[in-house]
Amino acid sequence: MDPILLGKGVTDDIQVFLQPRFGNRHGLVAGATGTGKTVTLMTLAEGFSKLGVPVFMADVKGDVAGLAMPGQGNDKLLARAKDIGIDGWAPADNPVVFWDLYGQLGHPVRTTVSEMGPTLLARILELNDTQSGVLDIVFKLADDRGLLLLDLEDLRAVLGLVADQRKDISTQYGLVSAQSVAAIQRNLLRLSQDGGEGFFGEPALELTDIMRTTPDGHGVIGILAAAQLVLKPRLYSTFLLWLLSELFERLPEVGDLDKPKLVFVFDEAHLLFDDAPPALVQRVEQVVRLIRSKGVGVYFCSQFPDDVPSSILGQLGNRVQHALRAFTPRDQKAVRTAAETFVPNPRLDVAKAISTLGTGEALV
């Protein structure tokens, strides 16, 4: 099985490959804006697709969609391909399926309120601890009484029931205040106005929809149109976390395979961990730690390595570090942190190398 060519060494002229059997060891692509992170992600996606591995990734800036069309070759590209050692290179398209939570730029993505669950829904709605506790009671009540929670209208109906029977429900399940119910209802209204209404309902997304291969054996690249979605960071990050959790809960154990069953790319990873409660970070750590044995490789992409908590960063075996510019104290700290995560090499000043890398260059 051919490995994925990532590039060629600047100092030693040796080709750098990612072996397919290590594809599920997870990874991190980091670097400042404009240093080549997106091209690295597209290279990985195209390489995995050729191996027959489906890929799911978000298109935050609108440029990943170009994978669906063949590029245009020119003398510079041909010379670069020859220099790297790619024989017979020619522009080619890739099998791509577009997805969109709003159903405008791709196939609509839907799930039910019940499948999302109270913890992740509370994050989308930006509820405080007290309001999140009331939402837990709402889900428990619906479960005990056999009430379906498919879409936001169902959730509003159960919230109305809780408001009407607040005293009895408070006695049985715990204190439910009218203020908390009203706050949840207001946040549901805001979510609906932001376009979240279409995300909840049936038919729900099936995992097989994002784990497809073509008749000729290529993995299908699922691209989530996220240029508008990323403007609502909680909804963007929580959706991807929900999808990752679904993969973790439903896929069977397969151990170490010759290649992953799916590669999941989490772009703008800092949005997942910004203001995330400890329980949520712990949940992400658990999923990342254990999902490898289910044949799924998770790749985070962000500007700074320390955007990812250290407990999760330690699980990421495949690292591609593009340039970081040490212009501010925050940048200088990020460069030192990034350097400390690499294996010590007496022949290389990693911190200096990271700050002097050119566009398209990286430490791997």
pLDDT at 118: 93
Contact 241, 15 (CB under 8 A): no
pLDDT at 141: 94
Annotated domain spans of the chain:
4-109+206-356, 113-199
From residue 274, how far is each of 205, 277, 326 by CA, in Å?
Answer: 27, 9, 22
* The domain defined by 4-109+206-356 carries CATH number 3.40.50.300: yes
pLDDT at 158: 95
Contact 51, 2 (CB under 8 A): yes
pLDDT tens for each residue of the chain, 364 residues long: 789 988 888 777 788 899 999 999 999 999 988 888 999 999 999 999 999 999 999 998 888 988 998 888 777 887 878 888 777 777 888 999 999 988 889 999 999 999 999 999 998 998 999 999 999 999 999 999 999 999 999 999 999 999 999 999 999 999 999 999 999 999 999 988 888 888 898 888 888 999 999 999 999 999 999 988 888 888 888 888 899 999 999 999 998 899 999 999 998 888 888 877 787 888 889 999 999 999 999 999 998 888 898 889 888 999 999 988 877 777 788 788 888 878 887 888 888 888 888 888 888 8
Please tell me whether residue 346 adopts helix, strand or coil conformation: coil
As a whole number of angstroms, the distance between CA 38 and CA 60 comes to: 10
Joined tokens for residue 5: 């060519």
Long-range Cβ contact pairs of 35-41 (< 8 A, separation 24 or more): 35/322, 35/323, 35/357, 35/359, 35/360, 35/362, 36/322, 36/359, 36/360, 36/361, 36/362, 37/301, 37/322, 38/63, 38/64, 39/360, 40/6, 40/320, 40/322, 40/362, 41/265, 41/267, 41/299, 41/301
pLDDT at 222: 96
Per-residue pLDDT tens for 159-202? 999 999 999 999 999 999 999 999 999 999 998 888 888 889 88
Q: What share of the chain is helix, strand, coil (3-state, %, to 5)?
A: 50, 15, 40
pTM, whole model, 2 decimals?
A: 0.90
Per-residue pLDDT tens for 253-311? 998 899 999 999 998 888 888 877 787 888 889 999 999 999 999 999 998 888 898 88
As a whole number of angstroms, the distance between CA 290 and CA 296 comes to: 9
Contacts of 168 (CB under 8 A, 6+ apart): none
Contacts of 175 (CB under 8 A, 6+ apart): none
Cα Rg, the chain, nearest whole Å: 23
pLDDT at 144: 94
